[in-house]
Amino acid sequence: MRTITLEEHYATPGFFDGPGRELKHRAETVGGRYANLIERLCDVGAKRLAEMDAAGIDMQVLSLTSPGVEQLAADEAIALAREANDYLAEAVKKHPTRFAGLAAVPTSAPDKAAAELERRVRDGFKGAVINGHNRGRYLDDPFHAPILECAEKLDVPIYIHPTPPPKPVLETYYGGFTPMLTEMLAGGAWGWHIETAVHVIRLISGGVFDRFPRLQVVIGHMGEGLPFMFQRFDIMPPAVTKLKRQYKDYLRENVHYTFSGFNFPPAFLDLFLELGGVDRIMFSADHPYQSMKAARAFLEQIPASASDKERIAHGNAEKLFRL
């Protein structure tokens, strides 16, 4: 069974002198796992390919690791996005059957972001990755309309990757604990999944999919908690929302979902049942933060038919990203 993973990360050496400097600091002071992460993020060659072969992964769709360029000032974001995309383009050029790319875009400069996305897609990139809000401003803000308009025009998806919530939210919700506990609660243990769910709800509530009905977004981690809430959104009548459809319709028609490290059968079943099938569910491993081997083993074990597994493993990704 062919396998394509969709939330797989890389970084450039220069990234660790900018938005990735905290990870670099930990690598230098703590070492161990952190140092290993930097090495594996920057590797888009032989070692990564060997790990993919060992795990049974045929292709990775690569994206710049969190926190991306979204929290940078415009000039810095433009420069780093260009550098990162050049780095990724070279890797894809060397290994076109094993790697594909999602473009980093400077959301703090929407016109430049749209131009960068269009240029990269024309050169073979498969869409964009956006690591959450831009200093507290979300994609529903009209400020970001050029990016959304460009993605719809090019018919490419936007992968919305988690990021920590804006600082006031982080301090209010997760402050008062030890620094490490606050960081974990606000991050991968809870907060950034809820943050991404909020981002998607803002897109719907702000009428983004009414203005750009063909726009498609992708989120990871079995839906970032949203499938559990599909039915609950029905309590909001159209007279209040002013939307053309119900929330669950947008979640079933404009959003796609990947595994990305959530190798949990109940989470998969909830997503499957709320979507009414596997048409919008896609495989991923979240390399190098999670195990490709564990993801591949989970794929084999999910309660789905052989044909559904094929669509999850590669068919849906091939269709959406034109791989």
Q: Where are the alpha helices (DSSP H) in the chain?
A: 21-29, 33-42, 46-55, 74-94, 110-122, 145-154, 167-174, 179-186, 191-205, 208-211, 238-241, 247-253, 265-275, 292-301, 306-310, 316-321
Spatial separation of the C-alpha atoms in residues 273 and 164, rounded to whole Å: 29
Spatial separation of the C-alpha atoms in residues 73 and 58, rounded to whole Å: 37
Is 270 a residue of the active site? Answer: no
C-alpha 99: how far from its chain's center? 16
Spatial separation of the C-alpha atoms in residues 306 and 102, rounded to whole Å: 29
* Cβ atoms of residues 28 and 20 within 8 Å: no
What phi and psi, each to the nearest 5 degrees, are found at residue 221?
Answer: 55, 45
Which residue has tokens 């309590």?
235
Helix, coil or strand: residue 158: strand
Spatial separation of the C-alpha atoms in residues 12 and 308, rounded to whole Å: 36
Q: Which of 140, 270, 286, 308 is catalytic?
A: 286
Which residues sit opposite 203 in a β-bridge? none
Spatial separation of the C-alpha atoms in residues 267 and 64, rounded to whole Å: 26
**β-sheet with 158-160: strand ranges across:** 103-104, 128-130, 158-160, 217-219, 255-258, 281-282
Residues with catalytic function: 286
